[in-house]
Structure 1
């Protein structure tokens, strides 16, 4: 079993059931979430990536399937702000207390508004980063939303 991370410790404190999955993290992967899904042999739609964003200049987290692209326009609308942008990696690490490639939506240093893509709710369980590179936490998407205080909204960028 993996050593505790702030994410796993938060789940244990909340008496929340979860499963851990470890894999060989590839720092050179083009898309970390897709590499994790492939390494674990699961559908990329079930492995959610944690994206730190700035919504109206304030930090927020977007949680979306690893094979999808977040629409910053939809995120801004959900946050009721004019615009949203991806957060710089150094700022994301400072705010969350995690390293890029290991950012979990759970157990962050400071709780920020969270937005969970509605498509995640179609799965019995989803996986999110466990707080370090090479570690994923599996839990029910409704529990993920409850634990992060996430608004469940459509975040997917429509192609075209």
Structure 2
């Protein structure tokens, strides 16, 4: 397992990876507080194709489980297709969750929400385009920290399904 020391070992996301022995690489960068797109900032500063950098979004659906909250993981180079997400989880509709609710539910701040190590396990859908890559990057649990791992490990660790829920900008 590769790991860069001192880059965020204390986050629940990193602890979850270490607990399971999952291969990962930490990528720390200097976050600019004026940045408006956290994922695109990470891709640019780390020199990584934005198709490999994934953002974690919470959506509200009409599912009864977990108050209808669902995690969607899509490339930062595109957008979440809310209709496709709703269909993927058997819901009639989906809307983006309120940021304050997303923070309370996951235990992370917006811009640093990791799909790993969340306070509560939620239904999760990974855009199927992520599976085309050998490795992808997701938030490591704080702004300025991404973690690289195999997309199949991401799916396994989050107990996710994969579906076409992302769309290009």
Distance 2:128 2:86 in 1: 16
Pick one of 92, 111, 116 that aligns with 1:106: 116
| Aligned-CA RMSD value | 1.2
Pick one of 28, 45, 48 that aligns with 1:42: 48
Distance 2:51 2:168 in 1: 16
Pick one of 83, 86, 104 that aligns with 1:73: 83
Change in CA separation of 1:158 and 1:98 when aligned onto 2, cut-off 3 Å: closer
Q: Which moved more, 1:20-29 or 1:144-153?
A: 20-29
Pick one of 116, 120, 124 that aligns with 2:134: 124
TM-score normalised by L of structure 2: 0.91
2:144 aligned residue: 134
1:15 is displaced (CA, Å) by 1.3
Q: Which has the higher strand share?
A: 2
2:32 aligned residue: 26
1:158 is displaced (CA, Å) by 6.4
Distance 1:95 1:125 in 2: 27
Runs of 4+, deviation exceeding 3 Å: none
2:163 aligned residue: 153
1:16 aligned residue: 22
- Matched pairs, number: 159
Could you tell me which runs of 5 or more consecutive residues in structure 1 were left unpaired when the two chains were aligned: none
The 8 Å contact of residues 38 and 143 in structure 2, kept in 1 or not, is answered as no
